[in-house]
């Protein structure tokens, strides 16, 4: 969905949620844009956090092993 369509749908939802008032369309458009920008920023923040975590946890110099390299689970039952 393109940005303009997303903004239209957000503004329409705001308008409906407020009981379809007349003469508030500019406020609804502005709020829809603010919500869109906040959503975009949150997505960028999550992407950055994921990239940082990936670098942190995968930067040990070793490639992850395959399942064949893992030891089998213990067959001893816990007490």
pLDDT in tens, 6-55: 889 999 999 999 999 999 999 999 999 999 999 999 999 999 999 998 88
Rounded to 10 deg, the angle between the 25-57 and 3-17 helix axes is 120
Q: Please state whether the predicted TM-score (pTM) of the whole model is above 0.75.
A: no
Residue 1: which pLDDT band, with cuts at 50, 70 and 90? Answer: low
How long, in residues, is the chain? Answer: 79
pLDDT of residue 63: 60
The full DSSP string for 11-77 is HHHHHHHTT--TT-HHHHHHHHHHHHHHHHHHHHHHHHHHHHHHHHHT-SS-PPPPGGGSPPPP-SP
């Amino acid at each position: 969905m393109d940005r303009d369509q997303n903004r239209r749908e957000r503004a329409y939802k705001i308008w409906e949620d407020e009981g379809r008032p007349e003469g508030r369309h500019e406020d609804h458009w502005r709020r829809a844009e603010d919500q869109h920008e906040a959503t975009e920023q949150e997505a960028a923040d999550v992407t950055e956090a994921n990239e940082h975590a990936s670098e942190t946890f995968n930067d040990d110099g070793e490639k992850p092993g395959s399942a064949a390299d893992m030891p089998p689970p213990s067959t001893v039952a816990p007490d």
